[in-house]
């Protein structure tokens, strides 16, 4: 991890998407034990994973973790706290209705 440079890692992961009446959730688990830190970005490779309603889909994929630079990491640590509002049901949603 450089002061200003980012590094990339390719890691295997399992994506689980539950699109069911009793559970709506989506998670990514890195199977090699990689962990994500503040400011890192994760991109799961391949096509969009769609679960039809009533389904739970689990797929093994590769993902790229882009490690934040030291500066970014510090910045995220210092400012990330202000995004907490999203947990409130009345938070501002910025989803786009297509």
Partner 1 sequence: MNVQAKHSSGAATAEEAIALQEALPPLTNEDATAVAMQNTLLTPRFYTTDFDEMDKIDVTPVREDWDKLIAQMVSDPNKGHFKKNADWDEVDWDGMEPKLKREFIDFLISSCTAEFSGCVLYKEMKRRGSNPDITQLFQLMARDEARHAGFINDALREAGIAVNLGFLTQSKKYTYFRPKFIYYATYLSEKIGYARYITIFRHLEKHPEHRFHPIFKWFEEWCNDEFSHGEAFALLLKTDPKLTQSFSNKLWIKFFLTAVYSTMYVRDHQRPEFHKALGVDPDWYAHEVFTKTSVLTGQIYPLMLDIEHPRWQKNLERMQVANVQIANAKKAGGIGGFIGKTLGSAKAAFAFVSLYTIPAIKHDVPQETLMKPAY
Question: Nearest approach, Cβ of 51 to partner 1 (angstroms)?
Answer: 7
Task: Return the residue of 5, 7, 12, 25 that touches partner 1, per CB under 8 A.
Answer: 25
Q: Whose CA is closest to 16, among 27, 6, 3?
A: 27
d(CA 35, CA 17): 20
Task: Return the residue of 6, 11, 20, 34 that touches partner 1, per CB under 8 A.
Answer: 20
33 binds partner 1 (CB under 8 A): no
Residue 8: its H or E element:
strand 7-20
Cα 9 from chain centroid?
A: 15
User: What is the binding site for partner 1 (CB under 8 A)?
Assistant: 15, 17-29, 35-55, 66, 76-77, 80-81, 83-98
């Amino acid at each position: 991890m450089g002061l200003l440079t980012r590094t990339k890692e390719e890691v295997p992961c399992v994506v689980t998407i539950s699109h069911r009446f009793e559970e709506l959730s989506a998670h990514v688990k890195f199977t090699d034990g990689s962990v994500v830190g503040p400011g890192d970005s994760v991109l799961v490779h391949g096509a969009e994973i769609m679960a039809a309603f009533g389904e739970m889909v689990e797929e093994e994929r590769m993902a790229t973790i882009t490690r934040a630079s030291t500066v970014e990491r510090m910045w995220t640590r210092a400012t990330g706290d202000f995004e907490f509002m999203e947990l409130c049901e009345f938070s501002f949603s910025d989803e786009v209705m297509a």
